Amino acid sequence: MVLDSGAPGPRVLVVGGIHGNEPSGMLAAAALAGGRRPLRGRLTVLAEANPEALRAGERTAPRPGAKDLNRVFPGGEEGPDARRAAEIFALTRDADLVLDLHEEGALWPEPDLATLVVSPPASAFAMDLLEALEQRGGKFAFTGGAPAGSLAGELGRLGRQALVVEVPARLPRGERIRLHLLVVETALGQLGMR
């Protein structure tokens, strides 16, 4: 879904549903897609990045040889997961900022805090975003180092701005969705799109 203001401005891509067992990102992205257009620039929303995995409620697609979609970026031709990753990566070409919505599990180092995983080129934006989130009552941790092969990791390697929003999976679904939307709406506000 593309929500274009018709006025020049930032171009933001929001991705949800890369992992099928992390539904809040997909639900938050779907809510954004059905929402209002930005004041300036363009908001592109991909709510169901990995539809096979989402339908199954699994991290990966339920087929033999399926790979973690968030470890095969930028993608390629070698199998369905690499082809899907290449399709998603192509959507990032026109984006000034990519926001990738996920849920963190028990092994995450900050299990009680929503966390922004930041590509190095997005560090300054992320620091301003954290301050704005705090003013809006949000408490978030901040970390760098998105894994190789992840959407944010590969965009960062190319000098592009990307943030992964990891919300605690232990929270109720409505709260996870609210936290995703809080980050996205605050980021859009920081860019003058809201």
Phi, psi of 142 (to 5 degrees): -140, 130
Q: Say yes or no: domain 2-190 is CATH 3.30.565.10.
A: no
pLDDT at 177 over 90: yes
Residue 53 near residue 134, CB atoms below 8 Å: no
Q: How confident is the model at residue 108 (pLDDT cuts 50, 70, 90)?
A: low
Is residue 112 within 8 A of residue 25, CB to CB? The reply is: no
Write the CB contacts of 74 (distance below 8 Å, at least 6 apart in sequence).
85, 86, 89, 154
pLDDT at residue 112 in the model: 75
- If DSSP codes are grouped into helix, strand and coil, which group holds residue 106? coil
Residue 145 vs residues 33, 77, 121: alpha-carbon distances, Å? 29, 26, 12
How much is the average pLDDT of 161-165? Answer: 96
pLDDT exceeds cutoff 70 at 72: yes
In this predicted model, what pLDDT tens digit does every residue of 114-159 receive, in sequence order?
999 999 999 999 999 999 999 998 889 888 788 999 999 999 999 9
Which of the four pLDDT bands, split at 50, 70 and 90, describes residue 107? low
For the chain, domain boundaries: 2-190
Run of H or E including 29: helix 23-33
63 CB-near residues (< 8 Å, 6+ apart): 52, 80
- Per-residue confidence at 110, pLDDT binned at 50, 70, 90? low
* pLDDT at residue number 13: 98
Tokens coding 47: 């709510």
Q: What is the pTM of this model?
A: 0.95
Residue 138: predicted pLDDT:
84
- Choose among 27, 21, 30: nearest CA to 53: 21
Residue 111 has pLDDT above 80, yes or no: no
